[in-house]
Amino acid sequence: MGLAGKAFSGWRVLREGLTGNRGWEAHWRDPQPKTDYDFIIIGGGGHGLATAYYLAAEHGITNVAVLEKGYIGGGNVGRNTTIVRANYGLEGNSQFYSHSLKLWETMEQELNYNVMHSQRGIINLFHSDGQRDAYARRGNMMLSQGDDAQLLDREGVRALVPSLNYTNTRFPIYGGLYHPRGGTARHDAVAWGFARGADRRGVDLIQNCEVTGIDVSEGKVTGVQTTRGAIRARKVGIVVAGRSSQVAAMAGMRLPIESHVLQAFVTEGLKPCLDQVVTFGMGHFYISQSDKGGLVFGGDLDLYASYAARGNLPMAEHVIEAGMALMPMIGKARLLRSWGGIMDMSADGSPVIDKTHIEGLYLNCGWCYGGFKAVPGSGHVFAHLMATDQPHEVARHHRLERFRDGVGLMDEEATGAQHNLH
Ligand SMILES: Cc1cc2nc3c(=O)[nH]c(=O)nc-3n(C[C@H](O)[C@H](O)[C@H](O)COP(=O)(O)OP(=O)(O)OC[C@H]3O[C@@H](n4cnc5c(N)ncnc54)[C@H](O)[C@@H]3O)c2cc1C
């Protein structure tokens, strides 16, 4: 099947709509694993699929397999609250997320896929003079990076989001840092779009194929063991988010990563009542409204290490209390469901995109609870690293060794090595 064979166009959508939608084809093949590839990507989440896509699209490397133990989109890429932004403050992350947001802005054309990227804007609320100063600093950093930021006063926020609680004397809203280019996207469509794009360029996406071992000989990676047999490869990338410590341990590595649960919630569909993404500055709570009308919200980690992709009730209560303090009207909405995902928390709240001490083995992890917005950027720079053996310019700070030598730690929120304060 050529690249054009599965393409979307207005004409095609119209034709299929009039003929019962019978002409669409599967977005990707279901190939048997070969015994040998040039490159293997472990993990078919957003980052793994984007890496495979850019290896093929930008570096012409197509003898690639993505090995996914479950199904495409079943991990965190399909569990997050879909916020996309570039409002980081520190050297390293600031450049990286700015790069990633630019890739978001051309993603739909690049992939010929509707990922419903909606730049509806993000407002980070502040509730004290000190918090306003911190957000002003962050806004200046964003502007210096070429991104957008506006400091709103209370009336400026009210004009955009009238439904907040402006009479709360305990947590008064002083204003907000507005990032108009931030927004949301349809999360699983992002996975499907990169999967389809990689498949169309010849990458094998192999689902239900768990990696159980990493083969290393004389300091070089030679392949992997899987539930579907041994597969050889020259280069292997570990891109497994919440399972990073477990998979890296297969190569004898101990990572500075802890896995923690993060929950999210969605209400029944409501009429449009919230145009932007809003974050509360006095508690862990953030909210947006999905295109189907559900209020999508979340808060902090469950605050204990776990591999269970479900959350605890005390944190659910905490998040909902914070929501009620900010936006009491949501108390009238019925909660439809909640879910959890496993976060790969690094000690400085920032990711690792690096080679390892084993030749041919590369590592991409530590996205904490913010890796969805990183999907195109991470795939782009990790493909660059794997293809050229040189770090991409915007990812040169994301070294694994910083946790050993202490040089260049990107302590994004100045909370030190305490995961629950990130
Ligand atoms: C509730 C929640 C809300 C979030 N909200 C946001 C947000 O608003 N904005 C944002 O930017 N980020 C957010 N995140 C974080 C974001 O979802 C993650 O950082 C990101 O999705 C992780 O990268 P990924 O997509 O590659 O992970 P995943 O989709 O988890 O991919 C990793 C894959 O590796 C596979 N795998 C694991 N072990 C093996 C193995 N041994 N062999 C083969 N395959 C294996 C897994 O099955 C999985 O599919 C949120 C996360 C959660 C859970």
CB of 70 sitting under 6 A from ligand 1: yes
Q: What letter would DSSP give residue 122?
A: E
Which pLDDT score is estimated for 151?
98
How is residue 249 written in tokens?
A: 């341990």
Res 6 pLDDT > 70:
no
Which pLDDT score is estimated for 213?
98
Tens of pLDDT, residue by residue over 374-397, are: 999 999 999 999 999 999 999 999
Tens of pLDDT, residue by residue over 323-378, are: 999 999 999 999 999 999 999 999 899 999 999 999 999 999 999 999 999 999 99
CB of 243 sitting under 6 A from ligand 1: yes
pLDDT confidence bin for 5, thresholds 50/70/90: low
Q: What mean pLDDT is reported for the chain? A: 94
Which pLDDT score is estimated for 406?
87
Nearest Cα residue to atom 41 of ligand 1: 211
Which pLDDT score is estimated for 407?
86
Return d(Cα 159, Cα 142) in angstroms, integer: 23
pLDDT confidence bin for 90, thresholds 50/70/90: confident
Specify the amino acid at residue 325.
Answer: A
Return d(Cα 273, Cα 152) in angstroms, integer: 20
Which pLDDT score is estimated for 408?
85
Nearest Cα residue to atom 31 of ligand 1: 45
Which pLDDT score is estimated for 410?
80
pLDDT confidence bin for 419, thresholds 50/70/90: very low
pLDDT confidence bin for 421, thresholds 50/70/90: low
Nearest Cα residue to atom 37 of ligand 1: 240
Measured in Å, residue 3 CA sits from the centre of ligand 1 at 28
Measured in Å, residue 341 CA sits from the centre of ligand 1 at 7
Tens of pLDDT, residue by residue over 252-300, are: 999 999 999 999 999 999 999 999 999 999 988 999 999 999 999 999 9
pLDDT confidence bin for 153, thresholds 50/70/90: very high
pLDDT confidence bin for 2, thresholds 50/70/90: very low
How is residue 1 written in tokens?
A: 């099947």
Measured in Å, residue 242 CA sits from the centre of ligand 1 at 7
pLDDT confidence bin for 4, thresholds 50/70/90: very low
CB of 372 sitting under 6 A from ligand 1: yes
What is the rounded average pLDDT of the residues 84-95?
A: 88
CB of 124 sitting under 6 A from ligand 1: no
CB of 45 sitting under 6 A from ligand 1: yes
Please report, rounded to a whole number, the percentage of residues in the chain having pLDDT higher than 90: 86
Q: Which helix (H) or strand (E) holds 85?
A: none
Of the candidate ranges 5-14, 30-39, 80-89, 233-242, the one whose mean pLDDT is the lowest? 5-14
Return d(Cα 301, Cα 299) in angstroms, integer: 7
How is residue 395 written in tokens?
A: 């990812």
CB of 235 sitting under 6 A from ligand 1: no
Res 418 pLDDT > 60:
no
Which pLDDT score is estimated for 241?
97
Look at residues 395, 353, 381 and name the one whose alpha carbon lies nearest to residue 59. 381
Return d(Cα 24, Cα 274) in angstroms, integer: 35
Res 416 pLDDT > 60:
no
How is residue 164 written in tokens?
A: 């907040």
CB of 341 sitting under 6 A from ligand 1: yes
Nearest Cα residue to atom 53 of ligand 1: 341
CB of 190 sitting under 6 A from ligand 1: no
Specify the 3-state DSSP secondary structure of 230.
Answer: strand
Which pLDDT score is estimated for 412?
62
How is residue 151 written in tokens?
A: 């400091």
